[in-house]
Chain A
Amino acid sequence: MTALAQLGSGTPATGSPPPARPGRHRLLPYLLLLPGAAWLVLFFVVPLAQLAAASLYDPTGSLSTGYVLTWAFGNYPEALQAYAPQFARSFGYAGAALVLALLLGYPLAYAIAQKAGRWKNLLLVCVVAPMFTSFLVRTLAWKTILSDNGVLVGLLRDVHLLGPDGRLLATPVAVVLGLTYNFLPFLVLPLYASLERLDHRLLEAAGDLYAGPLHAFRTVTLPLSMPGLIAGTLLFFIPATGDYINAELLGTPNEYMIGNVIDSAFLVRLDYPQGAALSFLLMAAILAVVFVYLRRAGTEDVL
């Protein structure tokens, strides 16, 4: 900028490059931010504020009689008390699915990133391919896979992992399997990205310094894949906790998660204050979990 200004003042006769106006330059970043910021304010901040207000409405109101903002903070403890099991299930199922997804996803991401060679891109497409169909259709397909007279249940009954009347559908197992499947790509892709950058010469160096494969994994591969691992677990865990489709389609009301309750509060029971209060409670709980997790995972880059 200063160079430009000097250039401008040094050649006044030609008059071609107008001296840069400092004001414009300083404003530019904000101008670039404007559309995105406007979008966020309109479609995120405003609804959020409205939701916050709704969570404090008088709970005795209804759509027909109208709601009044009475700062009814009591909505919160009430909602929490009524739906504590669903909250517990949300985090329990999402946690179990996360463990399962890590067991499946880490070796998968590692194999694609380090061992797949020229099959790398094809395998990546395979990971993303399920996303080409709708979430709903995919989950419905799992309903068939897990159905009582399906191949899988038959097989499990044959090897006595399931009793003769044992079933998968309409059990917590089905919901956890569904969550695992549906959100696996969100875990695999960031993990892949950081494992792909891993310099295999570092593993050679570790091997040269007496580290066997397991130890090299623990001291080199795992720490270096931490950014991808953290991003992946968050991208997996946050939507999985708030999900309600899997519990709805693969489970019964006994497996309902907090998402199902919010869904019915808004769309079936039309209890807006409760739905809003539950939404905020979920948000707060997830934020708390993420905060603790990031602190423990020790990424000074994120926090």
Chain B
Amino acid sequence: MSGMANEAPAGDLRLVDLTKRFGIFTAVDDLTLTVPQGSFFALLGASGCGKTTTLRMIAGLEEPTSGQVLLGDRDISRLRPYKRPVNTVFQSYALFPHLDIAENVAFGLRRRGIRKVDGQVRQMLSLVQLDGFGRRRPAQLSGGQQQRVALARALINHPQVLLLDEPLGALDLKLRRQMQIELKRIQTEVGITFVHVTHDQEEAMTMADTVAVMNAGRIEQLGAPAELYEYPATAFVANFLGQSNLLAAEAAGPAGPEVPVTAHGARFSVPVDRARVDRGPVYLGVRPEKLHLAEAADEVPAGHQHVPGVITDASYVGVSTQYLVRTGWGSELSAFAANSGVGRQHPVGTSVVAHWDPRHAFLLPREPGQDDRTTPLLDEPVKVPS
């Protein structure tokens, strides 16, 4: 993250204690964060967690119940939307139905008194691969084409901050990849600050400098994509960003460089710097791709920790095979084995030993009484009939 070290917050976008209530319902709850100028900030979160509401407050379309929106040192919280150097790609596109595509894209330029718009509009349309669509009306375009017009209409203005509310959601995988690359290129070339809302984790991880995971109006964790993925702060993040195996465990304080934990009668340990908590009820977390399978306990590499189990499901997905391993205490662990040609396939019903390097495990806080969690969530862990 290059912009982070700048001492002057020249054009940083800062949200300070930003709160939005609709009646008694709190959609955005005391949000505080800084988006450095020129950085790519991705906002991830489940449907209805307040992402759009946050963007709308930045754009000026929703008045905050309390808190501030600052651009550099300027408080823009009470500025009318048309006075803010911010443009939005709306989740609902909101294209003007009575204007053709070229006029839709040129709308912001014309408003700012720019006469010669044709060249820029054509360039923008070709950037979103809609050459020759300029004379059509929005109703004559497909959903994905409309979405790209919405993108072009906002991008053409080169705003200080661009808010993107799921701007690529309606596109097929190939086109989405191309658009991602284009967006990233424009963002680095022009130095626009992007605030990007998406449901696509891969998109967030590959494009963003900073990813924030939002849950019920609050930021659960914020950081570089690898940081969030490798060492999540909460069970929500561990399950929302990628998949995780979370074993309900108890910890009793650190012992030297490690935190020993007990889970379902077995003892494990995690390095101190991988523990968000070191005492009381915890989750012991391991990502599925960090969980390896061996046929017997003596094949487990030295230093690895392991649990025995039985394969209950094997799904072949091309690049990898995804296994479900039922442990002795009845919950299921998920393990991904790369189809690299080395290692064996494990048929359903065989006994295996699942093992991991403790340096890849992490400890998270757990509410007392919460049981193991494995993503994808399979309703409840299946109990072994006793």
Q: Which residues on A are within 8 Å of B, measured CB to CB?
A: 199, 201-202, 204-212, 215, 219-220, 223-224
Bound complex: CA A206 to CA B107 (Å): 8
A210–B112 CB distance below 8 A? yes
Q: With A201-B90, A215-B111 as known contacts, state yes or no: A208 contacts B82, CB within 8 Å.
A: yes
Residues of chain B within 8 A of A206, CB atoms compared = 96, 107
Q: What chain A residues lie within 8 Å of B97 (beta carbons)?
A: 202, 224
Which residues from A are CB-within-8-Å of B112?
A: 210
Please, which residue of chain A has its CB at the minimum distance from the CB of B85? A210
Q: How far is the CA of A92 from the CA of B17 in the complex (A)?
A: 61
Complexed CA–CA distance, A205 and B87 (Å): 9
- Given the interface pairs A207-B80, A210-B108, A210-B112, the reply to whether A224 lies near B98 with Cβ below 8 Å is yes
> With a CB–CB cut-off of 8 A, which chain A residues contact B81?
204, 207-208
Query: CB distance B98 to A204 under 8 Å?
Result: no
**Contact residue among B61, B98, B153 (Cβ-Cβ distance under 8 Å from A207):** B61
Some 24 contacts from A to B, beta carbons below 8 A apart, are: A201-B90, A201-B92, A202-B97, A204-B94, A205-B90, A207-B80, A207-B81, A208-B81, A208-B87, A208-B88, A208-B90, A208-B154, A209-B153, A209-B157, A210-B108, A210-B157, A211-B82, A211-B111, A212-B82, A219-B96, A219-B107, A220-B96, A223-B98, A224-B98
Q: In the complex the two chains form, is B94's CB within 8 Å of A201's CB? A: yes
Docked Cα-Cα span, A226 to B81, in Å, equals: 26
Shortest CB-to-CB span from B231 to chain A, Å, is 37
Closest residue of chain A to B97 (Cβ to Cβ) is: A224
Residues of chain B with a CB closer than 8 A to A220's CB: 96, 98
CB distance from B80 to the nearest CB of A (A): 7
Instruction: Decide yes or no whether B86 CB sits under 8 A from chain A.
Output: yes
Q: Among the listed B59, B92, B95, B98, which residue makes an inter-chain contact with A208, where contact means beta carbons less than 8 Å apart?
A: B59
**Judging by beta carbons under 8 Å apart, are A199 and B82 in contact?**
no
- The answer to whether A202 and B82 have CB atoms under 8 Å apart is no
| Closest residue of A by beta carbon distance from B103 | A219
Interchain nearest-CB distance for B24 vs A (Å): 19
Query: Which residues on A sit within 8 Å (CB–CB) of B157?
Result: 209-210
Q: Closest approach, in angstroms, between the C-beta of A275 and any C-beta of chain B?
A: 45
The list of the 5 closest CB pairs from A to B, nearest first, reads A205-B94, A209-B108, A207-B81, A210-B111, A201-B94
Cα distance A223–B81 in the bound complex, in angstroms: 22
Contacts known (A201-B90, A201-B92, A204-B61); A209 close to B98, Cβ less than 8 A: no
Chain B residue at minimum C-beta to C-beta distance from A211: B111
A197 to B174, CA, bound (A): 36
Of all chain B residues, which has the CB nearest A226? B98
Kindly provide the distance from the CB of A222 to the nearest chain B CB, expressed in whole angstroms. 10
In the complex, what distance in Å separates the CA atom of A243 from the CA atom of B112? 48
A201 and B81 alpha carbons, distance in the complex (Å) = 13
Q: Is the CB of B96 within 8 A of A202?
A: yes
Interface centre among A205, A206, A207, A223 (most CB of B within 10 A): A205
Taking A206-B107, A212-B82 as known contacts, 15 extra A-B pairs with beta carbons closer than 8 A to each other, sorted by chain A number, are A199-B94, A204-B61, A204-B94, A205-B94, A206-B96, A208-B61, A208-B87, A208-B90, A209-B82, A210-B157, A211-B107, A211-B111, A219-B96, A219-B107, A224-B97
Residues of chain A lying within 8 A (CB to CB) of residue B96: 202, 205-206, 219-220
Smallest CB separation, B9 vs chain A (Å): 24
Chain B residues with CB below 8 A from A211, complex form? 82, 107, 111
> B98 to chain A: closest CB distance in Å?
5
Shortest Cβ distance from B371 into chain A, in angstroms?
44
Distance (whole angstroms) from the CB of A206 to the closest CB of chain B:
7
A204 to B: closest C-beta gap in Å: 5
Instruction: Give CA–CA (A6, B9) in the complex, Å.
Output: 75
A212 to B87, CA, bound (A): 14
> How far in angstroms is the closest Cβ of chain A from B123?
18
